[in-house]
């Protein structure tokens, strides 16, 4: 199965999730595609309210996940023509997804995708100055 088809399967499974209805069947389906460790880590991030959806003044949103070493930016909906339809600024994504290709995604992206479907993101309205500060802080962390 090609990687693009796998990402289509992931989207299909995620699209079946509705707020308040995260069934054992859905968890089992995700467990086929992701390791138990990755899935549990993603669910733990959701349980600890680490997935943040920033609502920006111009109407779009930005996702951040509070990781062990700091906040990471998550881009869960890249253009459909991208080989990998999401991105995270964490080191695990760079290594495990992009370099070694040993995983389909990281726990931060998976947590964001699931939390968004379950309406479990912590929603924060932010102004442009706060957003610039947030992105700058995350950029400094990535570059150190």
**pLDDT tens by residue, 115-141:** 999 999 999 998 878 877 777 776 555
Count how many domains the chain has. 1
Q: What contacts 6, CB < 8 A, 6 or more positions away?
A: 33, 104
Q: What is the distance between the alpha carbons of residues 55 and 75, in angstroms, rounded to a whole number? A: 14
On the question of pLDDT at 45 being above 90, the answer is yes
pTM (predicted TM-score):
0.89
Total residues belonging to the chain: 144
Cα end-to-end distance, the chain, whole Å: 37
Domain extent, residue 123, equals 3-142
Alpha-carbon distance 59 to 109, whole Å? 22
In 3D space, the residue among 75, 69, 102 whose CA is nearest the CA of residue 88 turns out to be: 75
The residue with greater pLDDT, 50 or 2, is 50
Residue 101 three-state SS: coil
User: Does the pLDDT value for residue 32 go beyond 90?
Assistant: yes
Mean pLDDT lowest for which of 25-29, 69-73, 102-106, 113-117? 69-73
- Please report the pLDDT score of residue 117 as a whole number: 95
């Amino acid at each position: 199965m090609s990687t693009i088809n796998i990402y289509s399967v992931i989207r299909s499974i995620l699209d079946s999730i509705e707020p308040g209805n995260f069934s054992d069947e859905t968890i089992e389906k995700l467990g086929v595609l992701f390791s138990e460790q990755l899935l549990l880590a993603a669910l733990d991030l959701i349980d600890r309210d680490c997935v943040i959806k920033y609502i920006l003044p111009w109407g779009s949103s930005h996702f951040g996940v509070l990781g062990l070493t700091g906040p990471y930016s998550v881009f869960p909906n890249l253009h459909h023509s991208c080989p990998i339809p999401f991105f995270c600024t964490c080191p695990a994504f760079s290594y495990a997804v992009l370099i070694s290709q040993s995983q389909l995604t990281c726990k931060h992206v998976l947590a964001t995708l699931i939390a968004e479907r379950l309406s479990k993101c912590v929603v924060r309205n932010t102004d442009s100055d706060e957003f610039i500060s947030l992105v700058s802080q995350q950029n400094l962390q990535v570059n150190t």
